[in-house]
Amino acid sequence: MKPVTKVDTSENSNTRPETAESLNHSYERSSGLARRSFLGGAAAAVAATFVSLPASAQTDAIEAAGPERRHQAFQKRLNAAIHERNIRTAPHRSNGDEDRYASKIANFSKALPHNALGEVDLGAYGALLDALSSGKSADFEAIPLGGTAKLVNPQAANTFMLEGADSHALGTRIVPVYAGNEQGSEMAEDYWMALARDVAFADFETDPTIAAAVADLSAFPGYTGPKPVTPATIFRGDTPADLNGPYISQFLWQNLPYGAMVLHQQINTNIAGDDHMTTYSEWLNIQNGVPPSSANQLDSTPRYIRNLRDLAAWVHTDHPYEAGLNAALILLGMKAPFDANNPYGGLTKQSGFASFGTPHILDLVGGTCAAALCGGWFQKWLVHRRVRPEAYAGNVHNHVTGAAQYPLPARLLSSPVLSAVFGKFGSYLLPLAHAEGGPSHPSFPAGHACLAGAAAAALKAFFDESFVIPNPVQASPDGLSLVPYDGPPLTVGGELNKLAANIARGRDAAGVHWRSDGIGGLLLGEAVAIAVLRDRRANYSEDFTGFSLTRFDGKTITI
């Protein structure tokens, strides 16, 4: 009945015997990142013959060379396919919680029918597993739902990718277990982020809610955020340069050159205190797939991102690779230098365009989008099926109120954040920034993070990562203006890393993801982009030494 996956059912599966980095770096090593171009000598010979002919004979020469060119194209595609077939597929292991808990409390079930405790109907969950195992559309259509919300694209989990790594080839870490301290710390962090949504980043040093969050998370076993936890580091991401400068990346603040227009990045955000799903009836209805009873309330004044609520609003309505596209346009607008390996950098009579120019860059940012999402959707639906924070918080509420008993981490149950949430909202549910809560697909890895990780890798491969961002800015505490930033220099590579982390952390700030969802998504998206770059590397005609980029782990590679 269950999809075929390798399952680690040990209680200690949260100790990360293998990480996404180790699995995907193994993939990179076995793939031979700098794969040579095939039949290059034959192509050069054909080109030399062609250019020596008079113009009147060139058409005939092209036609005569047609079969040879077709053979070269076929050989490249065939060789790429054989290459991908021979690469060892990363192991795929869940954390074992689905087998550990018969009630499926640790797994995603939103939009299926639930009982009064928010526990999924086991018949419906079994139908979901049957459909995931068969992959048949008719079986998905037979899954009982609890309301009108639809499951989001589970069939994408079986999509084949014909460029770069197949969607089933790359690995991720084993996600934190339901009863472990790491998941407990991530739940506490999501609660604190919800309570601090309206605190301006500029006020973190003096705000009492931030001080309470710092004290709690500093002493939380299993917490994996930046340490030491201080007002300057709290809620930040884990990429290199994430702790440099303002919380928000320059690519979310700087003016955006969009063709003949220049756009200011003031956004339509939500009003202060616009929190949702804090009553039990509303929470239960939404778990069953019933539409929310109220909508988000928009602030009538556009603002630059100045707090977590604004960041959550940005990642609520963005298009799939909007962050990467905007960053590319900003870099092109500021005339940021290309990577030193760009083959046109030292040429005086040629420039890049379709290859190694603007169209190439923009295509790659978008071109990795579907691949990154399909890789993520495979992990979501067929491997992990991780519970969303909003559902986990429902277990917390029922446990603390005595309605049920769950194996929740003791340190979470003693955290002061629970009394703070109850004191403000009258329940132990997680206040959601989005009226509908999280989307109807499993939590790990975060789709936004997959996209952001892929886009960041693509842009770091094309641009000089060491280039210092000119005229850096930061939002005023009210978000109505930008003011100069005069701290240590901010580089392209660092701000692209920060942008990726901002997108991932914005989903946590909304309450729809866990910290480890974002980290896992960034690493998977990066690995997808590297695989695509590797495949494209084999097809250029220029003298090219390879794409160079610094991964999220700080190591520089050449592809």
Q: Are 224 and 235 in contact (CB under 8 A)?
A: no
State the Cα–Cα distance between residues 481 and 485, nearest whole angstrom.
13
What is the phi/psi pair of residue 143, to 5°?
-70, 125
Cis previous bond, 445, omega within 30:
yes
DSSP string spanning 494-518? HHHHHHHHHHHHHHHHHTS--HHHH
Quickly list DSSP for 237-254: --STTTTSS-SS-GGGTS
Q: What are phi and psi of 32, to 5 degrees?
A: 65, 75
Q: How far is CA 455 from the centre of its chain?
A: 10
3-state secondary structure of 549: strand
Asked whether the beta carbons of 558 and 34 are under 8 A apart, the reply is yes
What angle do helix axes 447-462 and 492-510 make, rounded to 10 degrees? 170
Amino acid at 13: S
- Length of the chain in residues, anyone? 559
Joined together, the tokens standing for residue 21 give 């980095």
DSSP state letter for 556 = E
- Residue by residue, DSSP assigns 40-84 as HHHHHHHHHHHHTS-HHHHHHHHHHHHHHHHHHHHHHHHHHHHHH
Phi, psi of 547 (to 5 degrees): -75, 135
Would you please indicate which residues are annotated as catalytic (active-site) residues? Answer: 441, 448
114 φ/ψ sector (left φ>0, alpha ψ -120 to 50, else beta): beta
